[in-house]
Structure 1
Amino acid sequence: MPAETQGMLVEGKDALVAGRWHYWRGQKLLKYELDSPSLSTLQCHLLCVVYTCGGSFHNLMNSTVALAVSTAYMLGLHLDPPPTMPEKDREMRRRLWWAVYLMDSKSGMKLGRPFMISSSYVMPSLPSDTLEAAASSGSMFAPIGQNATWLSYNLHTIQLYMKVRTAYTAFFDQEIHLQQGQALWVNHEDQNFSAEVLKAHTQRFHQWVDDVPESLKLKRQNNGQPLSTDLTPILLESFTPTWLQRQRLLLEHTYHHLSVNLYRPFISSTLKPLADSIAEELAMRCASHAIMLTMITHQALTESTLLDGWHEAFFCQWNSVMTLVGFVMLFPSSLLSNQAKHAIQLAILVFDNFGAKFSVAANAAKIVRELSVKIELLANPSDLESNIAIIPQDFEVDSLSSVSVDPVLPSQDLFTSPDFNLFDMAVDIDFWNSADSLWPDLDNLSQFQVEI
């Protein structure tokens, strides 16, 4: 939606499924190109991935990523372009391949499914971000200093995903020797061994931060460090071009989101990390990144229009707030606990903002409000009697372990369904939507397809 129309929806329209007829028409036309795809075919698949991800149709997204990967191999993009090809075309093919790699990485790590692109094979060179490459790309954005161009954002995003994907693969490829029915860790020794595997990659992330040009780093207030978790507010420079400000914002947002996902296994209800252990250190890092992402998202939404219409920010925020809920329950007396609780309240404001555009976000705000009240009561058992008036009659102390996220359930039924576990909700919210419920008039779809 255009920035000037980011107000309340009218006539029950939901921004998540805006343009659904255009999407279905595109799918109809793309079927004719399955056997003889072109670069434009691949670009269409990538755009469909973005659309289905933003609409929370993640099985559709995963299937479309598979189509994009298959099409990229058909077009030979996995091979470095020959030197006889014009440099402009070589760079475009490289950018397309690495866009497919990025989508495959995002889909696999988000859904916990195998990657479709094998990292064991030789891949083409990374796309260039030189002044020459930027000049020949077709866009006329001015250079941003330090030999960085508008293409540098894409390059550093790809490099970040490569490092995180390597750490993710190493973490989940380790041999833990679980017996049937056992959880991920059965003792603290195994947990710390897993933490050591992951911590070995943290220096590479620090190196990535150092390699990002200063002109691409989002500035912080009070002399705070960019791309850090020092919990200082961001500085939105009013005279900086909007495209550059958005690139800075999304680069840092992506960094914190991927860090939350990577370190979250150590916020585990099955085995709390030992004090001063490596596992506890990574759990604290996870919470710090979740707090920072929440602060950035809230500030960007309230002080600018940079995130308006970017639905993925909502899903990243849900992911972070569920992580913070787990952290507060697991580490109620830690130094970060108060900051985490404050971030949960900020997340509610973020959901309220997105709730004006689509109903899933409005329901998320309702869920987190109820969760925050109940978490406070569990953290202060002595207050249960004095606050009995605000506790629903059907609330039980142990009911936080079974939370339903079905948006059609009334709020009083939130804690009574055993279908979902609290610590799985960061993924489960992405499956609230279904084509049957959010795409109305599907009965007329076949007639529509005939007409087009």
Structure 2
Amino acid sequence: MTTPASPQYSPPARPDNEHPPTKRPRKQVSRACDWCRARKIRCDNAQPCKACRQRDAQCTHKGIDDEPRTLPMALRENEKLKQRVRELEAMLASSSSQAMTPSSDNTSPPSNLTTTGHQLEHSSSTSTRLAVLSLPTFSSVSKPQWRGIYVDTAHSGRASYYGASSFFYFVSRIGSYLGNVLQQPLADRSMQLRGPSKRVHRDAEAEAADNLDTVNPVPSANDRCRFLSRSQEEALLRIFWEGYHCQLPVIDEVEFRRHYASLWEPARTTRKSSPLVDIVLALCLQYGYAYIPPAVTSSTESGPGAPTKDGTSAGRGYYRRSQSLLLADLESPSLATVQSYIFATAYLCCASFQNMSHILVAQAIRTAQVIGLHTEPAADMPYGEKELRRRIWWVLWMMDTKISSKLGRPFLIDCSQVTVNMFSDDEEAASYNGAALSSYGGVTWLSYARHANQLYRVYMCIFGTLWDNFGVIIHRKALSCVYNDAAAVEECAKVLCPKLHLMKAWVNTVPSGLKMRRRGGGDPYCTNCAAVEIDSMAPIWLQRQCVCLELTYHNAMVDLTRPFITFYSHPGTYTQAAEHHATTCVDHAVSFTLIMHHVVTETDLMNNWSEYFCMQWNTAITIVGFILAYPIHQSTLKARRALDKAIAVFDNFVTSFPVSADAAAITRDLAAKADMLAGRASSSTVAGVGGSSTTTSTSASTDTPTVLPNNAATPVLPIWGTTANPGSDDLTWLDPSQQDGFGQFMDWGLSNDASSSFERFFNPGNLTAW
């Protein structure tokens, strides 16, 4: 028996013109407000939304602005993240392979790193790979540098490094050029010692004879003659306030006077020892040597190894005692400790102990960081104390910039870690606590330090950019120095061109009260060789500050542009920008010399100011280098005349610095050599070489200089655009870092600017030994 099938349901037929009802799409909300998202309720995405209107509260959207709001956005973001992960993995794999590959600059990795790389390559353990990859990696080419030179400045057999930006590197380039063009090696006895070594730190036997107690020094009867009486010390301190105090404003005048008076109480015949007072007196003796009667200097500088008629080492007894006393404060330094280090650095720098001064300024910086001078002072600190702490720090920064750039070494201070503000030079800061020095002509006694600091800020910015670019180009072209590649020199010169306007902009910020006028209405800080006018009605401290600030500016311009004085130019090329910088360099060197000559011969503002004597030596050798490199140039004649002025300045300093006589003799000898070589160049230009009547033009308007022929029968002076030895392709002399044997030649450069032993190496009686 079968069950009848149930009838199947079939929907009713629709007319052909009737469409099925469309489903209403669900409204999507791209991002709910914060209230609705937190409670997971529906948000209508209105502004404000319905839920927030009902609760009468603010409707906020504090989510990340770039977070995905819709599903397509989320998918795209997910794909981007995956791609980024793949890129990072590729970078990690690439860095790992480079770490295992030997360096191409002939620098072998340490053995332990080599073993680690070997393990990484062969190990299949994931944990081992992760452990190795987590180690920090250091790249030797992250910031390439232009290699400097190593010179034994103290004749100890231990060479010191001086960078390519240093004066010493330029001196070595002059030596390379002269040795090549004259085809004569240096004679063994052309430079020789004239006297015994004079060390600022005497040997152990002499120190034992001094019998100075570093904790509570009580000078014996034998020692009292080596130190000054109270009246003599107070006379010296009077010259300090208008001298170094205005250049390095790192102490409070009133507090220092109070401290000094307390050292003589109650009714003492000998002063209590103080490292700060001792180093200030050492500076006063060094600076005021020209003003001190000979009887006083002989009584204070008697004893073993005492110098005679040498202001650079005057006051060394006070310096040594100050350093001995500072040893007891290393664990608990104070503000006075940093102040003492600053003055000690200045003393060593002016005494030509460049390495010692560089090391000591590093110690001063670290001590300042120990007591927190690199951070902004507390708000509740007295105004005067806050300003003093700021001045101390920024004076330290300026000293680091000056010394490090001069020696071509890395800067010691990382400015990214500094939070202290610049100090003020207004009337309140200048007259705080009843300071004797005040203001004149719209400037205060602190204005010089502030504007000098701003000058070195600009200088450091340009200097860093230029030398970073030097390093990049040298690394990219695999050069040891840029002078082997004319295109590299010109490329670096073009980098400097747009930066120098910053120095001009700084000049415009200097107040008129700190500028020296020019006779005939010339612009201050210009290089038109117009004579300067010093305001005789201004106080002495302001007169000296005006001179020092402009001299510092010209010296900074010389240091920035000197690398572009080239002693060789590749045939068929003309480095116009580089020659422009070389002309700028010699113009500022000439301006420095003319100002210095005027001030030294017509005033006593710069008497025994050894820092600017060293700057004069720096600019004089720069002028010599320019005359040698460009014997036929529109600026050569005025440079040669300025060289005679520099010799006159050295002759003037002889009474204070015996080594200045050597500086004058050396400059005369180099000037004579330059005249001789320029004579050869002129005769070659007029008559031609080997029957050719070719000429060479080095003016800034020339596009391509005519090059002397290379078929000369005898070596001649390389007029701009030729080699020093025609017919020879050996250009190794262009890079002093690739040569040896400069130690003896460098004596004449270092004995005047960086001899760490006050030694006098040059024998003027044997000037023609080359």
Q: CA distance change for structure 1 residues 7 and 322 in 2, over 3 Å: closer, same or farther?
A: farther
Match of 2:550 among 252, 262, 268: 252
- SS in structure 2 of the partner of residue 77 of structure 1: coil
Q: CA distance change for structure 1 residues 6 and 183 in 2, over 3 Å: closer, same or farther?
A: farther
1:103 Cα offset (Å): 0.7
Match of 1:235 among 518, 530, 533: 533
Counterparts of 1:99 and 1:59, CA distance in 2: 19
1:353 Cα offset (Å): 1.1
CA deviation map 1:411-439 (0-9, x unaligned): xxxxxx9525989976674233416x59x
Q: CA distance change for structure 1 residues 304 and 85 in 2, over 3 Å: closer, same or farther?
A: same
1:325 Cα offset (Å): 0.7
Structure 2: give runs of 5+ residues left out of the alignment: 1-287, 299-306, 684-714, 718-723, 725-739, 761-770
Q: Give the TM-score normalised by the residue count of structure 1.
A: 0.84
The AA in structure 2 aligned to 1:20 is: R
CA contact (8 A) 2:518 2:533 kept: yes
Which residue of structure 1 lines up, in the alignment, with residue 165 of structure 2?
A: none
Give the alignment of 1:234-313 within 5 angstroms.
234-271=532-569, 275=574, 277-313=576-612
Q: Looking at both structures, which has the greater relative contact order when contacts are Cα pairs under 8 Å and sequence separation is at least 6?
A: 2
Looking at secondary structure, tell me which structure has more helix per residue. 1
- SS in structure 1 of the partner of residue 482 of structure 2: coil
CA contact (8 A) 1:377 1:383 kept: no
Which residue of structure 1 lines up, in the alignment, with residue 250 of structure 2?
A: none
Q: CA distance change for structure 1 residues 292 and 261 in 2, over 3 Å: closer, same or farther?
A: same
The AA in structure 2 aligned to 1:286 is: C
Q: CA distance change for structure 1 residues 122 and 142 in 2, over 3 Å: closer, same or farther?
A: closer
Counterparts of 2:441 and 2:610, CA distance in 1: 30
The AA in structure 2 aligned to 1:419 is: F
Which residue of structure 1 lines up, in the alignment, with residue 613 of structure 2?
A: 314
Which residue of structure 2 lines up, in the alignment, with residue 405 of structure 1?
A: none
CA deviation map 1:357-410 (0-9, x unaligned): 1222111111111111111011002899xxxxxxxxxxx988xx9xxxxxxxxx
Counterparts of 1:421 and 1:272, CA distance in 2: 30
- SS in structure 2 of the partner of residue 193 of structure 1: helix
Counterparts of 1:149 and 1:382, CA distance in 2: 52
- Is 2:320 the partner of 1:24? yes
Match of 2:367 among 54, 62, 71: 71
Which residue of structure 2 lines up, in the alignment, with residue 206 of structure 1?
A: 504
1:34 Cα offset (Å): 1.0
Match of 1:432 among 739, 744, 755: 755
- SS in structure 1 of the partner of residue 632 of structure 2: coil
1:230 Cα offset (Å): 1.4
Counterparts of 2:647 and 2:354, CA distance in 1: 24
1:201 Cα offset (Å): 1.7
CA contact (8 A) 1:94 1:127 kept: yes
CA contact (8 A) 2:401 2:456 kept: yes
Q: CA distance change for structure 1 residues 263 and 256 in 2, over 3 Å: closer, same or farther?
A: same
Which residue of structure 1 lines up, in the alignment, with residue 383 of structure 2?
A: 87
Q: CA distance change for structure 1 residues 380 and 249 in 2, over 3 Å: closer, same or farther?
A: same
- SS in structure 1 of the partner of residue 484 of structure 2: coil
Which residue of structure 2 lines up, in the alignment, with residue 151 of structure 1?
A: 446
1:221 Cα offset (Å): 1.1
Counterparts of 2:580 and 2:747, CA distance in 1: 22
Counterparts of 1:51 and 1:192, CA distance in 2: 40
Give the alignment of 1:287-366 within 5 angstroms.
287-366=586-665
1:138 Cα offset (Å): 4.4
- SS in structure 2 of the partner of residue 120 of structure 1: helix
Which residue of structure 1 lines up, in the alignment, with residue 427 of structure 2?
A: 131
1:251 Cα offset (Å): 0.4
CA deviation map 1:84-111 (0-9, x unaligned): 1111111000000001001100110111
Counterparts of 1:427 and 1:366, CA distance in 2: 15
Which residue of structure 2 lines up, in the alignment, with residue 42 of structure 1?
A: 338
- SS in structure 2 of the partner of residue 177 of structure 1: helix
CA contact (8 A) 1:355 1:362 kept: yes
1:3 Cα offset (Å): 5.1
The AA in structure 2 aligned to 1:46 is: I
- Name the stretch that deviates more: 417-426 or 239-248: 417-426
Q: CA distance change for structure 1 residues 270 and 121 in 2, over 3 Å: closer, same or farther?
A: farther
Counterparts of 1:428 and 1:279, CA distance in 2: 30
CA contact (8 A) 2:387 2:423 kept: yes
1:45 Cα offset (Å): 0.3
CA deviation map 1:318-352 (0-9, x unaligned): 11011111111112221111110011111111111
Q: CA distance change for structure 1 residues 341 and 7 in 2, over 3 Å: closer, same or farther?
A: farther
1:120 Cα offset (Å): 2.7
Match of 1:101 among 382, 393, 397: 397
Larger radius of gyration: 2
- Name the stretch that deviates more: 227-236 or 9-18: 9-18
CA contact (8 A) 1:134 1:151 kept: yes
Which residue of structure 2 lines up, in the alignment, with residue 167 of structure 1?
A: 462
Which residue of structure 2 lines up, in the alignment, with residue 414 of structure 1?
A: none
Counterparts of 1:135 and 1:115, CA distance in 2: 33
Which residue of structure 1 lines up, in the alignment, with residue 104 of structure 2?
A: none
CA contact (8 A) 1:56 1:433 kept: yes
1:70 Cα offset (Å): 0.5
Counterparts of 2:438 and 2:369, CA distance in 1: 34
Counterparts of 1:185 and 1:419, CA distance in 2: 19
Counterparts of 1:272 and 1:142, CA distance in 2: 57
CA deviation map 1:283-328 (0-9, x unaligned): 1110000000001111111111110121011110111011111111
CA contact (8 A) 1:217 1:226 kept: yes
The AA in structure 2 aligned to 1:351 is: F
1:140 Cα offset (Å): 2.9
Measured on the aligned residues, the alpha-carbon RMSD in Å equals 2.8
Q: CA distance change for structure 1 residues 307 and 26 in 2, over 3 Å: closer, same or farther?
A: same
- Is 2:412 the partner of 1:116? yes
Structure 1: give runs of 5+ residues left out of the alignment: 385-395, 402-416, 439-452
Give the alignment of 1:376-391 within 5 angstroms.
376-381=675-680
1:195 Cα offset (Å): 1.3
Q: Give the TM-score normalised by the residue count of structure 2.
A: 0.50
Which residue of structure 1 lines up, in the alignment, with residue 670 of structure 2?
A: 371
CA contact (8 A) 1:322 1:423 kept: no
CA contact (8 A) 2:555 2:615 kept: yes
1:196 Cα offset (Å): 2.1
CA deviation map 1:248-304 (0-9, x unaligned): 000001001111111100012254896572211111110000000001111111111
Q: CA distance change for structure 1 residues 66 and 142 in 2, over 3 Å: closer, same or farther?
A: closer
1:183 Cα offset (Å): 1.8
Q: Matched residues, percent identical?
A: 37
Counterparts of 1:40 and 1:228, CA distance in 2: 40
CA contact (8 A) 2:349 2:611 kept: yes
CA deviation map 1:26-65 (0-9, x unaligned): 1111111111111111110011111101110111101111
CA contact (8 A) 1:54 1:312 kept: yes
Which residue of structure 2 lines up, in the alignment, with residue 223 of structure 1?
A: 521
Counterparts of 1:50 and 1:277, CA distance in 2: 39
Which residue of structure 1 lines up, in the alignment, with residue 490 of structure 2?
A: 192
The AA in structure 2 aligned to 1:104 is: D
Counterparts of 2:456 and 2:430, CA distance in 1: 22
The AA in structure 2 aligned to 1:290 is: A
Counterparts of 1:200 and 1:13, CA distance in 2: 47
